[in-house]
Amino acid sequence: MDRNNKVGELKTAIYQSDGYTVAQSHDTQIVRFNDDEIILNSGGWQTKTTKSRMNKVSDAFQLGFRVSQRQGEWFVDYFANEIGDTYSFNDGMILERYKEAEYV
């Protein structure tokens, strides 16, 4: 398991595990994804740094989500289709991956 990869200047390890690409910050797997789903987890650390790292992973792998904060509450904007959706963030939340064929 190669943990030497990182996203940008952030110390976020990227590796493969059990069929998922995993982005890990410290001891927390903050983003796990495969062809079917994306799993988000702050590990209870809903901080500016955790949000930034999640968003960097989304950008780097073109996952189509953005974590933001409004009035102290976290939200996930997910642009998997032409419309986009916004969800309240919760640890362990699963976003279904967009498959082009489903929308043709």
Q: What is the pLDDT of residues 62-89, one digit of tens each?
A: 999 999 999 999 999 998 766 789 999 9
- When divided into structural domains, the chain yields a total of 1
Q: Residue 76 domain-assigned?
A: yes
Q: CB-based contacts of 37: which residues, under 8 Å, 6+ apart?
A: 94, 95, 96, 97
What digits encode the pLDDT tens for the residues 18-28?
999 999 998 99
User: Is residue 102, in this structure, part of any structural domain at all?
Assistant: no
Report residue 99 as tokens. 């498959």
User: Would residue 52 count as lying in a domain?
Assistant: yes
Classify residue 103: in a domain, yes or no. Answer: no
- Please give the residue range of the domain that contains residue 12: 5-97
Of the candidates 68, 50, 38, 67, which has an alpha carbon nearest to the alpha carbon of residue 10?
Answer: 50
- What is the spatial distance between Cα 30 and Cα 27, in angstroms, rounded to a whole number? 9
**92 vs 29: CA distance, rounded Å:** 10
